A = this chain, B = another copy of it.
Amino acid sequence: MDTELTPRQTFFNLPPDKQQRVLEAAVQEFSERGYQQASINTIVSRLNIAKGSIYQYFDSKKSLFLFIFNQGIAMVRQMLKQVKKESQGEDFFTRVRKSLMAGVEFIDKHPALYRVYLRILFERDSPLREDFLQTIRLFSREYILSLLEEGQARGEVRKDLDPVLAVFILDAVLDKFLQNYALPYLDPALELNEKKGLEEKIDSIVTMLRQGFAAADGI
């Protein structure tokens, strides 16, 4: 229970490229099998190192996992911060569109890392799972909320929307879109595995959210 949550010094003494190889192999395994089913044996075997070695780097499977996941959270956080900064002053719906596209880009860069997140979402026994999810949820919601409030202040967004529910809808659509992008088999009809037409689909989705589903006169 009182395992260290950070790698051991030995890990940091490793040549940087070996550090990276180790982390990549672990991310790969966690993304393929989830936390519980991920096998230390498989990881070390793929790395061609002895089993004992990985326990020189990390105290436990849990500690290895936590280090990876924390790194991932930090990366997402930084990414959102940058999108927000770069789009400052732009229209609300443009910012939503850009946030979605940034998410797509993130998954392109770190597909396995994103799949680890998807795994943990519904795996009851990942360590500190609820803490992690609340952390992610919290800053994801707060990010969207801040965009929304700026949009309302600028008069681009209806002011009578319940912020919690509006954020819920946006978050749901964004999150599901990225899930489908990462795992295209979830909804083959969307054809999100095809790069072509991706931006147009994002545009359409944001437009629908903007103007709603109800028929205006004569449409």
Contacts and interface: CB of A to CB of B under 8 A. Distances in A.
Contact of A219 (B124, B130, B134, B160): B160
B158 A219 contact: yes
The interface residues of chain A, by DSSP majority, are classed as helix
A164 B164 CA distance: 27
Nearest to A37: B36
A120 to B, nearest CB: 9
B214 A133 contact: no
Interface residues of A, number: 59
Given A212-B212, A214-B158, A215-B158, A124 B205 contact: no
A166 B214 CA distance: 12
A208 interface: yes
B122 A122 contact: yes
Interface string A158-189: 11111011101101110111001000011111
Contacts of A166: 208, 213
A128 to B, nearest CB: 13
Nearest to A180: B168
B209 A211 contact: no
